[in-house]
Amino acid sequence: MTASPYRTVLPLLAAATLACIPGCTASSLSVRFDIHRSPLLGLPDQDATIAFLGFNGTDLALNNLTGYLFARALVSDSTLAAIEMRPVLRTLARHPHEAGQVSDSLALVVGREMNAGIAVVGDLDRAYTEEYGEVKVFREEETVGVRLGGSDVRVINKAYVLPHIDQTAVVTTTLRVYGVRSKMLIGSYSITESQSYRTVLPEPVEAPPEGAVSVEFVSPMLTEVLARRIVDRLMASLVREQIQVTRRLIATRDRRAISAAREGDWSRAVTIWEGTVAEDPHDAAAWNNLAVAYERSGRRGDAEAAYHNALSVSPGDRTIRSNNRAFGRAADDRSDR
């Protein structure tokens, strides 16, 4: 009996499917996982801690109030890793500087000394004005009139002048975020908030100034409202949002790491692929898989380096190129939000 030719051809086809040749990709496994992205921070490493250096500006009271509220919000947010403000200020105090004037270069120095991955510094520019005004109001009053045979009580509307002062505060805030290791600006965000507050005076003022006049101080109630509103908007630009991404793992002869990834044990998968590339630095598939595992674990810097190594070994591999492009788009593309 003659052997079927398919018994010879089919194993060869299967072997060709798993082989990786230039411009072609070995069989791959699609995996999906969630990552967290911040509108301003992008996708920093999971262990990248934030050192906030406070706000610069001429109004030290406003700087301190807004800085305190912002630092407390950073530390309280579970999606961010921020250093408490007190140790940051103690480290900052060891370097000569004037209050309200922390340079970006000094912020990076302090961030490095605090072993932070991200240094954040901001500016507060404010304008305070007051304007005198009067409002005519009417109140009901009883009047007593005398008439023949008795008295007559009537209710009339009597006009009064109600004087007041309107205080207005306009605050422009700019937040700058730097990568401590790269010393590069990750992002910058500016907002402007305004609020008015009316104080009623007991009596009219003689010869009041015309129009709005610039002042140095306004009601503490007004500045606190503005500070809290500013902090809310700044936190909205930092807080991470969850998005889902898809990557492809390349099948290799050693199936242990793939099995670990299937089971959700990415820590074990990382260990196996790290051992593989240590033994064979020219294993492009292992570098690709390690990059995906790093990304899944939130280690963005390590993932970027691993993708670079994978492309260096096999620049024409379509799976590696696709993963690397998607990796870059996850940080830059805002259309997914």
Residue 47 — very low, low, confident or very high, per pLDDT cuts 50/70/90?
low
Q: What is the pLDDT of residue 23?
A: 40
pLDDT band at 33 (very low <50, low <70, confident <90, very high): confident
pTM for this entry: 0.65
Secondary structure, 3-state, 83-100: CCHHHHHHHHHCCCCECC
Three-class HEC string of 246-285: EEEEECCCCCHHHHHHHCCCHHHHHHHHHHHHHHCCCCHH
Mean of all residue pLDDT scores within the chain? 84
Written as one letter, the residue type at 40 is L
Instruction: Specify whether the CB–CB gap between 295 and 273 falls below 8 A.
Output: no
Using the predicted structure, report yes or no on whether residue 16 has a pLDDT greater than 80. Answer: no
What integer is the mean pLDDT of 19-28? 48
Which residues are within 8 A (CB) of 4 and not within 5 positions of it... i.e. 6 or more apart? Answer: none
pLDDT in tens, 118-171: 999 999 999 999 999 988 777 777 666 656 555 666 766 777 788 999 999 999
3 state SS of 9: helix
CA angle in degrees (0–180, nearest 5) for 46-48-49:
125
CA distance 212 to 128: 10
Contact present, 121 and 177 (Cβ < 8 Å): no
Residue predicted with more confidence, 238 or 140: 238
What stretch of H or E contains 190? strand 184-200
pLDDT digits (tens, 9 = 90+) for 284-301: 999 999 999 998 887 888
Residue 263 reports pLDDT greater than 60? yes
Q: Is the dihedral of CA 26, 29, 30, 33 positive or negative?
A: negative
Average pLDDT of the residues in 179-202: 92
Q: What is the DSSP string of 26-56?
A: --EEEEEEEEEEBTTTBS--TT--EEEEEEE
CA 165 to chain centre: 38
pLDDT at position 18, please? 37
Amino acid 81: pLDDT: 87
Which residues partner with 169 through β-bridges? 128, 195
